[in-house]
Amino acid sequence: MSFRVFNSLTRRKEIFTPREPGRVRMYNCGPTVYNRQHIGNFRSFLFADLLRRWLEYLGLEVSQVMNITDVGHLTDDADMDGEDKIEAQARREKIDPQKIADGYAELFLADVRELGVLAPMAYPRATDHIPEMLEIINGLIEKGHAYEKAGNVYFDVTTFPRYGRLSGNKVEDLEAGKRVEVREDKRHPADFALWKADPKHLMKWDSRFGPDGFPGWHIECSAMARKLLGDELDIHTGGEDNVFPHHECEIAQSECFTGVTFARFWMHAKFLTVDGGKMSKSLGNVYTLDDVKERGYQPRALRYALMRGHYRQPLNFTWEILEESRAALEKLDDLAHRLRLSCAGTGAAADADEGSAAVDSAQKSFEDGLNDDLNMPQALASLFELRSTALEGSLGTAAAQRAMAFLKKANSVVGVIKLEEDTLDARVHELIAARVHARETQDWAASDRIRDELNELDVVVQDTPDGTIWRKKG
C-alpha cells in the first residue's frame, strides 16, 4: 500500500511520491521566536516530525528544513504603526531584539529536543538570509509582480491569478473584507508587503530601497526554502492558520519568481484548542513545556497527547487528557517490558512461533494506518492489540522477538515508548531480593514495608505466578 496524504491544495487524498525518487524535500513552517513556544505550536511541529519519521520508515531520505523566524512581523500588516512582535518584546524586556530572538530560539530548540523531535537537516534563521530575500524581491519587481512606494515594496496580487487557490479566498471577497485596512500606497488592498521601511525599527538592513528596511512577513520562507531545498519542494507543512495569508503569499512570491510550482503537497495540522477554545493569555491557558513538567508529566506524555489524535482533526487539550496519555503510555512501556521477558523465555508459549500471525497483523494495521494520511489512532490501536496478544501469554520466543523488532520500528515513528531496560542500583536490587525472601518466609509485614519503600523509589513490584517482576514508574 502506498502513502496517501491529504493535499490542502487539491483538498483530496493523493498518493505521495517525491519528485526525485527516494528523496523528499520538505519544508516545515517553524516558530517566530518572540516568545516561548506553547503546546499549540508543538502540535504543528510534532506533526512535521511524525511525517518525517513516517517517510523515513518508508525508506525515503528526507531533506527537512524548519525555519526559525527571528525578525518579527508587524502586528498589523496594513498599518505602519503596528509594532513588530520581536521589537515589542525587546522593549518590554529592555534588551536588544536579536538577543530576544536568540534566547527564545534556544528555548525552542531545547523544548523540541525534549519532546523527541528529530533535528531536521537545517533550522535556518531569517536574519541570516536577508540577501536571498532581496534577490527574490528585486526579481519580482523586474518581472512586474511587485512595486516600490517610498521604501516599501508590495506584491501585486492582481498579477498572480492563482492567488487564493490554496485558501479558497477570492481577491474580491478579501477586498470586501472588513478586517483588511486599506493603505493608500497599496495598489490593491490585498497586496502584501515584501519589504518595509521604518527608521524607528531596531532591526533594519540597507538596500536599494533605503537604509531602514526590513523584510515583510512571508518572504523569509520563500527565500530559505529556495536556498536550502531548491525551487520545487515536495511537501510544505504548517498549522492551518498559516494557510492564509502566509502560505498563499509564499506561493505567489515563489512561483512568480521561479516560474515553477513551489510545493506539490501542502499539509496542514488543525488547530489545538485548550479547554474547548482558543488559548489566550487572559484565560491563563497558554501552556508551555515547563507547565507540563511542573505538573509532574514527562515531555513524552505531551508528545503522546498531541499525536494520538489525527492531525487533521480538531484537538482539545486538558490536563485530564494529559493524565490519560500518561496512563496509556505506561501500558505501552509495559508492553515493551513484557516482550523483553518473553524474548528471554519468561512466560512464553511453548511453540516459539505461537502468535506470529497476530504480530504480523498488528504490523500491517500499523502500516496501513499511517499510510492512510497518518492515521495515528489506528496505528496506536494496533500497538494495544499487540499488547493484548502478548499478555494472553500466547507469544512464543520467536514471535516475541518479532514483536519486539516491530515495536522498535514502530517507536521510530511514534517516538514515545520506553524500550530499553530500566537499570536499578544495587540498593534496589537488595530490596527486591529481601522482599522475595520475606514472601518466601511469609513475613507479610516485612514484604509490604519493602514494597512501600520501593514505591518511594519509583519502583513498582508485581507478584506473578512466574515470580516477582518490577518496573519503574512513569
| Residue whose grid cell is 494495521 | 365
Q: Which residues contact 340 (CB under 8 A, 6 or more apart)?
A: 404, 421
Q: Tell me how far, at minimum, the Cβ of 98 lies from RNA, in Å.
A: 17
Strand 210-215 relative to strand 192-197, pairing? antiparallel
Q: Tell me how far, at minimum, the Cβ of 259 lies from RNA, in Å.
A: 26
Q: Tell me how far, at minimum, the Cβ of 362 lies from RNA, in Å.
A: 11
Please, are residues 335 and 386 in contact by the beta-carbon 8 Å criterion? yes
The residue (of 80 and 243) whose beta carbon lies closer to RNA is 243
The residue (of 61 and 313) whose beta carbon lies closer to RNA is 313
Rounded-to-integer distance, Cα 264 and Cα 268, Å: 13
Q: Tell me how far, at minimum, the Cβ of 293 lies from RNA, in Å.
A: 20
C-alpha 146: how far from chain center? 34
The residue (of 142 and 448) whose beta carbon lies closer to RNA is 448
Q: Tell me how far, at minimum, the Cβ of 471 lies from RNA, in Å.
A: 9
Rounded-to-integer distance, Cα 136 and Cα 130, Å: 10
Q: Which amino acid is at 287?
A: Y
**Four-point Cα dihedral 133, 139, 143, 147, nearest 10:** 50
Q: Tell me how far, at minimum, the Cβ of 313 lies from RNA, in Å.
A: 3
Locate 321 and state its grid cell: 487528557
Locate 166 and state its grid cell: 490554496
The residue (of 273 and 346) whose beta carbon lies closer to RNA is 273
DSSP 175: H
The residue (of 176 and 344) whose beta carbon lies closer to RNA is 176
Which residues sit opposite 264 in a β-bridge? none
Rounded-to-integer distance, Cα 266 and Cα 373, Å: 12
Q: Tell me how far, at minimum, the Cβ of 212 lies from RNA, in Å.
A: 19
Q: Tell me how far, at minimum, the Cβ of 382 lies from RNA, in Å.
A: 8
Q: Tell me how far, at minimum, the Cβ of 45 lies from RNA, in Å.
A: 7
C-alpha 230: how far from chain center? 23
Locate 101 and state its grid cell: 530572538
The residue (of 251 and 272) whose beta carbon lies closer to RNA is 272
Considering only CA atoms, give the Rg of the chain: 27
Q: Tell me how far, at minimum, the Cβ of 177 lies from RNA, in Å.
A: 4
The residue (of 147 and 217) whose beta carbon lies closer to RNA is 217
The residue (of 57 and 244) whose beta carbon lies closer to RNA is 244
Which residues sit opposite 315 in a β-bridge? 272
Q: Which residues contact 465 (CB under 8 A, 6 or more apart)?
A: none
Please, are residues 229 and 120 in contact by the beta-carbon 8 Å criterion? no
The residue (of 159 and 378) whose beta carbon lies closer to RNA is 378
User: For the chain, how long is the longest CA-to-CA vector?
Assistant: 91
Please, are residues 389 and 395 in contact by the beta-carbon 8 Å criterion? yes
User: Sign of torsion, CA 42 45 51 52?
Assistant: negative
The residue (of 182 and 260) whose beta carbon lies closer to RNA is 182
